[in-house]
Amino acid sequence: MGYYVAVEQNVNLYVEDLDPGNGKPVLFIHGWPVNHKMYEYQFNQLPQMGYRCIGVDLRGFGKSDRPWRGYSYDRLADDIRVVIDTLELENITLAGFSMGGAIAIRYMARYGADKVSKLALFAAAAPLFTRRPDYPYGMTKEQVNSLIQATYTDRPKMLNDFGDMFFASYVTEGIKDWMHGLGMEASGHATAMCAVSLRDEDLRRDLSAVSVPTAIFHGVQDKVCPYPFAEFMHAGIQGSELVPFLYSGHGLFYDELEKFNRELVSFLAK
């Protein structure tokens, strides 16, 4: 079922709760610039294995409200907290893809292990999305600035260009069109503002705050969040498990769909 959760005055987030009240809860946070529907091929399978899948559209994306402000990682993590409290969730697995993984890490830094028993990070845009003098991985700030500019001038082309480096394996034109459509459902302004957060936020100090069992799924061929991101997170999150996807790019949830679902269920069942 789908419903709205008020996270602050005049801002409501759309939540898709596949089997309310039944199964172990897994709260999925989507990546930039799509929405919760990116997890379709996980939501098709996990409920029949006893998991309550909850997808949230971040503010500005999917069916959620589109405020002008509020796109810092702190605010987005606080939104997730309101959803968790409103749904009265306990012992959840918090799962985040790309920017959603970064938000999940920031959530752990702000709220600790309260309400969360496990953390799953999928091609997370962390600890940094852009290069620094002491972090030579990822895009340059200039490249992200170009994404922001293109978002405000020709967002369909920006999404096409971004989509060209999303998957490593061959995917059908239908899948490409589907992902492009998810991106077009977003607010253009929210897309740009979250790109600013991706460009500027630094999660290196947040990693040590993660104190729950953590699985890091990452594509070795990822061109958006290169594999060294995963190695840095693995080193910074005590006791974490790193699961490489040898044949995957950024879209590992589809590049190696069967392995992704199998590894995720294995982690959830531990």
The DSSP code sequence of the chain is -EEEEEEETTEEEEEEESSTTSSEEEEEE--TT--GGGGHHHHTTGGGGTEEEEEEPPTTSTTS---SS--SHHHHHHHHHHHHHHTT--SEEEEEETHHHHHHHHHHHHHTTTTEEEEEEES---S-SB-BTTB--SB-HHHHHHHHHHHHH-HHHHHHHHHHTT-SS---HHHHHHHHHHHHTS-HHHHHHHHHHHHH---TTTGGG--S-EEEEEETT-SSS-THHHHHHHHHSTT-EEEEETT--S-HHHHTHHHHHHHHHHHHH-
Peptide bond into 226 cis (omega under 30): no
Q: pLDDT by residue (tens digit) across 64-121?
A: 999 999 999 999 999 999 999 999 999 999 999 999 999 999 999 999 999 999 999 9
Distances in Å between the Cα of 152 and the Cα atoms of 30, 141, 179, 240, 259 are: 22, 17, 19, 38, 37
Q: Residue 21's pLDDT band (boundaries 50, 70, 90)? A: confident
pLDDT at residue 218, rounded to an integer:
98
Q: Is 189 noted as a catalytic residue in this protein? A: no
* Active site annotation includes 211: no
pLDDT at 116: 98
Of 30, 222, 248, 255, the catalytic one is: 222
- Identify the CA nearest to 232 among candidates 100, 56, 101, 115: 101
pLDDT at 169: 80
Average confidence (pLDDT) over 125-150: 98
Catalytic residue from among 17, 36, 65, 98: 98
Judge whether residue 170 has pLDDT over 90: no
Is the pLDDT at 179 greater than 80? The verdict is: yes
Provide the percentage of residues in the chain whose pLDDT is more than 70: 100
Residue 20: per-residue pLDDT:
81
Superfamily of domain 2-269: Alpha/Beta hydrolase fold, catalytic domain (3.40.50.1820)
250 tagged catalytic: yes
Q: What is the mean pLDDT of residues 224-243?
A: 98
Catalytic residue among 65, 234, 250, 255: 250
Q: What is the mean pLDDT of residues 228-232?
A: 98
Band (pLDDT 50/70/90 cuts) for residue 1 is confident
Summarize the confidence of residues 258-264 as an average pLDDT. Answer: 98
More confident residue, 21 or 89: 89
pLDDT at residue number 221 = 97
- Counting every residue written for the chain, the total comes to 270
Structural domain boundaries in the chain: 2-269
Please give the model's pTM, rounded to 2 decimal places.
Answer: 0.97
